[in-house]
Amino acid sequence: MQKILPDATAALDGLLRDGMTIAAGGFGLCGIPERLIDAIQASGVTDLTIASNNAGIDNEGLGKLLRTRQVRKMISSYVGENKEFERQFLAGELEVEFCPQGTLAERLRAGGAGIPGFYTKTGVGTQVAEGKEHKEFDGETYILERGIRADLSIIKGWKADEAGNLVFRKTARNFNQPAATSGRICVAEVEEIVPVGSLDPDCIHLPSIYVKRMILGAPYDKKIEFRTVRQREAA
């Protein structure tokens, strides 16, 4: 099966539709599928539900899709760095499902493992628990969280072989792995593609069975979310 496509537009051909749910890897601007996000923006698809740790920043990452009003709902943990997200949320233009970070990772993982729901203590007694089933286990209260099964997963990897076995680089592994498994179809962009057999089998983070389509996204420009400087002290 030929998984390598020439660009992001070709990799997403036939997969996008209005109203779909997308699981997106990345943390802040680290390990985000930049080329695939750009292609989604260019496609004009709307009414999207996106499950992602955060919503990018203004005009970067998923912030691009918020700016063009292509997102209807975000399922996220941390969204404090995006002014457009804040504006849409406070104006009632964007639906938001806040989810504790570890719970979100497990919801994605559970969805990919075919687990429809699980119980967790995280969020008990807070707004997170409102409207959710409560259950006692060994004298402790837990709430039911649903697994996330997305129509499409978009992820960013470091290195892959031609079959789609994939390795993430350091902290860029973040939400990419659980996001990848939660989608019915997973499309990956990577920085390097090597021949089959080049990667140590014990070092594979995401087996090829999860990756349906793949593109070579490099080169990338390293973006900094916040640049902090201090004035040079006088000699």
Q: What is the CATH classification number for the domain harbouring 34?
A: 3.40.1080.10
Q: Please indicate, yes or no, if residue 102 is contained in any of the structural domains.
A: yes
Average pLDDT over residues 29-55: 96
Q: Please indicate, yes or no, if residue 26 is contained in any of the structural domains.
A: yes
Dmax of the chain from CA atoms?
Answer: 65
The pLDDT assigned to 59 comes to 86
Q: How many domains does the chain have?
A: 1
Q: Please indicate, yes or no, if residue 187 is contained in any of the structural domains.
A: yes
Containing H/E element for 155? Answer: strand 152-161
- The DSSP code sequence of 79-141 is -TT-HHHHHHHHTT-SEEEE--HHHHHHHHHHHHTT--EEEESTTTTSGGGTTS-EEEETTEE
**Domain extent for 71:** 8-122+141-216
| Of 194 and 1, the one with more pLDDT | 194
Q: Please indicate, yes or no, if residue 222 is contained in any of the structural domains.
A: no
Percent of the chain, pLDDT > 90?
86
Contacts of 173 (CB under 8 A, 6+ apart): 31, 205
Question: Above 90 in pLDDT, residue 219?
Answer: no
| Of 6 and 224, the one with more pLDDT | 6
| Of 127 and 220, the one with more pLDDT | 127
Alpha carbon separation from 40 to 16, 21, 68, 96, 128 (Å, rounded): 8, 13, 11, 20, 30
Q: Please indicate, yes or no, if residue 229 is contained in any of the structural domains.
A: no
Question: Above 80 in pLDDT, residue 195?
Answer: yes
Q: Please indicate, yes or no, if residue 131 is contained in any of the structural domains.
A: no
Q: Please indicate, yes or no, if residue 127 is contained in any of the structural domains.
A: no
Question: Above 90 in pLDDT, residue 113?
Answer: yes
Beta-carbon-side half-sphere exposure of residue 91 (alpha carbons within 13 Å): 9
Q: Please indicate, yes or no, if residue 135 is contained in any of the structural domains.
A: no
Q: Is the model's pTM score more than 0.85?
A: yes
d(CA 205, CA 173): 9
Closest CA relative to residue 27, chosen from 67, 63, 55, 66:
55
